[in-house]
A and B are shown apart, each in its own frame.
Chain A
């Protein structure tokens, strides 16, 4: 069992959620309550990581941020190392790949809040920030939870992008899913089997917790 690979996967999962949640709340709410020009394009861009193969994202990241591109050299100077084949690069790739899993549930959550409630809160003299923090966020809460857990679980299962921009570096970019591939190729079926089982158990447990929590929240409301 490659514990450092589990560590990389968990760090990547938590990191992705932490990076994406604020962005997801901002964009999800914007798409839910505002009508603006270019909205159709934004919604398509939010969804496109769902339908594109990970190789497309991997390719663009490599040619944009690899050390052979000007932008890549800027990042190399800033970070002291290239963005691809580093944990930071993986985090960026993972954040982009998970945008639909975070934005879409949050958008649905804010859409479900009736406009009457927003108007009533405004009539009561609550400022826009107060309305957001005290009325909308608590009402949209289950959708935030769904978004966070979906992104976390999906990151644990990510393989294609990591294979392309990660480079299988132990303790840095070798996630659990890559470690399984690596062990299978090294004929180490025992280790691969244990890691596959760990990933299966963690994923099922994560999804069960989501369902349980959203039911609890629903019951509290009801």
Chain B
């Protein structure tokens, strides 16, 4: 009996040692961890580059978490600890301002554009009038078409508006696959799982898309404008405030311009 009593003790001790060894929360750089910043998924490449420039110029780090603007808004309303939120439109930051969670009404930092993308090998030919897409919808040769979920992603909402404007929404609906965010819609498309998609121009210009398909820029008059707003939360620390101002600086504006955004005056 003694031996079978000893083995549970040893195992319990092993588990305890494991927990104690791993239990301490990870707090890099001694004291305060870098502030967490929530950003719309369309910013994945551009904002990562801006954060890199910020670290190089100012010597401070920020932690970026990407997702659909609506998803992130819901998380902030439920208490997620973000200090700054860069959205894909104005409506979601405005909701946070109405809920009294923000410092002020925020500022527009970029204007987003949509692009029609077709992966290599897709039967879809791209053009800004969506004629190629209309043709495929008519012949029924389109397998799947990807956009971000219009409920949570402003770019998805804009994509819906474009499709409606061209009278393609109803015909395309059974073929639509909705991404949780523009990143997922882009992933469906670039992997060839969808024959095409309406995606943020900034994502289509990303290095991962280079040589993997064709694209056409959609006229911004075809959809409600994607005025991308950022807003500081109450209780935002000095690093977040500095990063907020940095996003409006010439350095950041140049980066945003290179990634296909229009930058407001």
Contacts and interface: CB of A to CB of B under 8 A. Distances in A.
B225 interface: no
Chain A, interface SS category:
helix
B70 interface: no
B183 interface: yes
Nearest to B209: A187
A171 to B, nearest CB: 4
A167 B75 contact: yes
B80 interface: yes
Nearest to B74: A62
A35 interface: no
B78 A14 contact: no
Given A82-B79, A169-B81, A186 B26 contact: no
A134 B5 contact: yes
Interface in B1-32: 1, 3-5, 7-8, 11, 15-16, 18-19, 22-23, 25-26, 28
Contacts of A28: none
B44 A186 contact: yes
Contact of B4 (A11, A187, A220): A220
Interface string B41-83: 1001000000000000000000101110000000101111100
Contacts of A4: 26
Contacts of B183: 185-186
Given A4-B26, A184-B187, 14 more contacts: A14-B15, A18-B15, A18-B19, A84-B75, A85-B81, A138-B1, A141-B4, A167-B75, A170-B65, A171-B26, A171-B28, A182-B66, A185-B183, A217-B4
A87 interface: yes
Nearest to B34: A170
Contact of A14 (B3, B7, B18): B18
A141 B79 contact: no
B139 interface: no
Interface string B110-150: 00000000000000000000000000000000000000000
A81 interface: yes
B206 interface: yes
B184 A185 contact: yes
Interface in A66-102: 66-68, 72, 76, 81-87
Interface of A: 4, 7-8, 10-11, 14-15, 17-18, 62, 66-68, 72, 76, 81-87, 134, 137-138, 141, 144-145, 148, 167-172, 182, 184-187, 217, 220-221
Contact of A7 (B26, B44, B65): B26
A78 B80 CA distance: 16
Contacts of A83: 79
**What are the 3 closest A-B residue pairs judged by CB atoms, nearest first?**
A82-B79, A66-B78, A67-B79
A145 B79 contact: no
Interface centre among B18, B33, B80 (most CB of A within 10 A): B80
B190 interface: yes
Contacts of A14: 15, 18-19, 22-23
Contact of B80 (A85, A137, A148, A170): A85
Contact of B7 (A11, A141, A167): A141
Contacts of B67: 168
B65 A141 contact: no
A103 B259 CA distance: 53
Contacts of B1: 134, 138
A184 B191 CA distance: 11
B208 interface: yes
Contacts of B206: 187
B235 to A, nearest CB: 11
Nearest to A182: B66
B188 to A, nearest CB: 10
Nearest to A187: B208
Contact of A148 (B4, B15, B208): B15
Contacts of A148: 15
B44 A84 contact: no
B181 interface: yes
Contacts of A171: 25-26, 28, 33
B26 A138 contact: no
Contacts of A7: 22, 26
Contacts of A167: 65, 75, 80
Nearest to A66: B78
Nearest to B28: A171
B77 A68 contact: yes
Contacts of B15: 14, 17-18, 148
